[in-house]
Structure 1
Amino acid sequence: MTEIHVINLDRSVERLEIFRQRNAHLKNVHRYPGIDGRTLNRDRLIEENIIAPDLDYTAGSLGCALSHVALWKEAADRNECMTVAEDDAIFSHHFESHMRSLLSNVRTDWDFILWSASLPCYAWLDALPGGTGARLQFFTGEVMTHIDEFQGAETEPALLRARHLLGLQCYSISPKGARALLDWCLPIRPMLIDFTGFGLRLNNTGIDCITNGLMPSLKAYTCLPPLAITDDRPEDSVRVNT
């Protein structure tokens, strides 16, 4: 579980170097070669029932989606929990110790834990019994100009039960969760996802959109305060919209 699989495109050498510099405190990082959406043969993916013929993902979104899917398959095949990050993630210096502590206290049948926050964005939580939800909103503020303060901050993070989550910059997934997401997401297809109880309907434009069609059925959690944030530069991102 302590190994972090970092998705990084082969052409994004500089991004990987920046990741390593910013996160030099992480002890066990494994680079996973991200799938470059520019090189994909969509006709073949349709034949293999990986995507639907009418899927309108950009090349970057499709490459990103298939990179995550490949790691879910690995987690399922190995029957091991896995921690995944994208190469723009910036980790707290206390990430590994907090992760171990939180995992030791969460229900053993968890499926998915989001450690990061995509700024600005939301998380939709299970707040009270009976389906009462709450929306948690993140504001960018000046955190990206105070990265050292974020990384060194002494916090007391907690895991909150989540109903919907956006952004997959850093998360852990169990084998059970990986199998459930693979069954739900493949073939990747156009759909509208209703955030029941929150008055929101989301069009599927990326892998973190389609996962929300299943997320309420998973034992999913989000970490607050987050233990990772993202430097959302578009250049050579695995999610770049080209």
Structure 2
Amino acid sequence: MIGEIYIINLDRSVARLDTFRKLNSHLENVRRFPGVDGKSVDRDQLMTNKIITPNLDYAAGSLGCAISHVTLWKEAVARHKVITVAEDDAIFSNQFERHTRSLLSNVRPDWDFILWSASLRCYAWLDALPGGTGARVEFFSGEVMEHIADFQEAETEPALLRAHHLLGTVCYSVSPRGARALLDWCLPIRPMIVDFAGFGLKLNNAGIDCIMNGVMPSLKAYVCLPPLVISDERPEESVRINT
């Protein structure tokens, strides 16, 4: 089970929530989560609570996003339940719930983290072969944003693949154990260089999905391919609803 689907949405982003609901009206068990507005967050209080360090240089949007995800990880731990987290620009396959039930029935129950989405600007690094051989998956947008209905209605045969590193937090499920591991590693959120060991890459921590990769290799993490969720990366003013 993927648990409740929490949609991170700022109070001032009413139009985005409306768009999300129209595009994803087929989803059940969805709960809106009021996202943290990085423009108004009290950084001093976050430092006092050891959520961030004084020298963290996240942009306001990145900080609000990070605190929103951290808060939901705490929810998973406190309730000792799997939860699914999505951002309000997520577009779900019409078969999302059917596929996730089937996929989870065929994966070991001790999984920690599953990324259901693809951000067209991000990569996934996979455990491709035994012995530490990895592969990098890169997505290209093509014309998918012009054919949202085609994506949602497509008949696909997705699989869960073990992942070593993942970027993007458009939609994922996390277990209580996975959430606890993420909290233990990520807090306090701090400046650091994250080493993508084995892939010849080091990234400056500029967002929560980057620092998550410091612990991701130790988790039982998976990525869904083809993805069941994509992010709406069109300019907000040009968003069109397919009917």
Q: What is the DSSP-based 3-state SS (H/G/I as helix, E as strand, rest coil) of the residue aligned with 1:105?
A: coil
Provide the aligned length of Structure 1 versus Structure 2.
Answer: 236
What is the CA–CA distance in structure 1 between the aligned matches of 2:231 and 2:68, rounded to whole Å?
18
* CA deviation string 1:180-202 (max 9, x = no partner): 00000000000001111111000
Give the C-alpha shift of residue 234 in structure 1.
6.8
* CA deviation string 1:211-234 (max 9, x = no partner): 000000000000000000001357
What is the CA–CA distance in structure 2 between the aligned matches of 1:149 and 1:44, rounded to whole Å?
46
Give the C-alpha shift of residue 166 in structure 1.
0.4
Return structure 1 stretches of 4+ with deviation > 3 angstroms: 233-236
Higher relative contact order (CA 8 A, sep 6+): 1
Q: Corresponding residue for 2:40?
A: 39
Q: What is the DSSP-based 3-state SS (H/G/I as helix, E as strand, rest coil) of the residue aligned with 2:39?
A: helix
Letter of the aligned partner of 1:97 in structure 2? R
Equivalent pairs: percent with the same residue? Answer: 73
Change in 2 beyond 3 A, CA 1:93/1:16: same
Give the C-alpha shift of residue 43 in structure 1.
1.2
Give the C-alpha shift of residue 2 in structure 1.
4.2
What is the CA–CA distance in structure 2 between the aligned matches of 1:98 and 1:24, rounded to whole Å?
17
Any stretches of 5+ residues in structure 1 without a counterpart? 237-242
What is the CA–CA distance in structure 1 between the aligned matches of 2:114 and 2:203, rounded to whole Å?
21
For residues 37-76 of structure 1, what are the structure 2 equivalents within 5 Å? 37-76=38-77
> Mean Cα displacement is larger for which, 21-30 or 174-183?
21-30
Q: Corresponding residue for 1:29?
A: 30
* CA deviation string 1:143-190 (max 9, x = no partner): 000110000000000000000000000000000000000000000000
Q: What is the DSSP-based 3-state SS (H/G/I as helix, E as strand, rest coil) of the residue aligned with 1:51?
A: coil
What is the CA–CA distance in structure 1 between the aligned matches of 2:161 and 2:60, rounded to whole Å?
33
TM-score by length of 2: 0.95
Q: What is the DSSP-based 3-state SS (H/G/I as helix, E as strand, rest coil) of the residue aligned with 2:105?
A: helix
What is the CA–CA distance in structure 2 between the aligned matches of 1:156 and 1:179, rounded to whole Å?
31
Q: Corresponding residue for 1:89?
A: 90
What is the CA–CA distance in structure 2 between the aligned matches of 1:98 and 1:163, rounded to whole Å?
23
- Matched-pair contact (CA < 8 Å) for 1:121–1:139: no
Q: Corresponding residue for 2:230?
A: 229
- Matched-pair contact (CA < 8 Å) for 2:145–2:234: no
Any stretches of 5+ residues in structure 2 without a counterpart? 238-243
- Matched-pair contact (CA < 8 Å) for 1:157–1:224: yes
Q: What is the DSSP-based 3-state SS (H/G/I as helix, E as strand, rest coil) of the residue aligned with 2:52?
A: coil
Q: What is the DSSP-based 3-state SS (H/G/I as helix, E as strand, rest coil) of the residue aligned with 1:18?
A: helix
What is the CA–CA distance in structure 2 between the aligned matches of 1:2 and 1:51, rounded to whole Å?
28
For residues 133-212 of structure 1, what are the structure 2 equivalents within 5 Å? 133-212=134-213
Letter of the aligned partner of 1:38 in structure 2? K
What is the CA–CA distance in structure 1 between the aligned matches of 2:97 and 2:33, rounded to whole Å?
19
Letter of the aligned partner of 2:9 in structure 1? N
> Mean Cα displacement is larger for which, 172-181 or 34-43?
34-43
TM-score by length of 1: 0.95
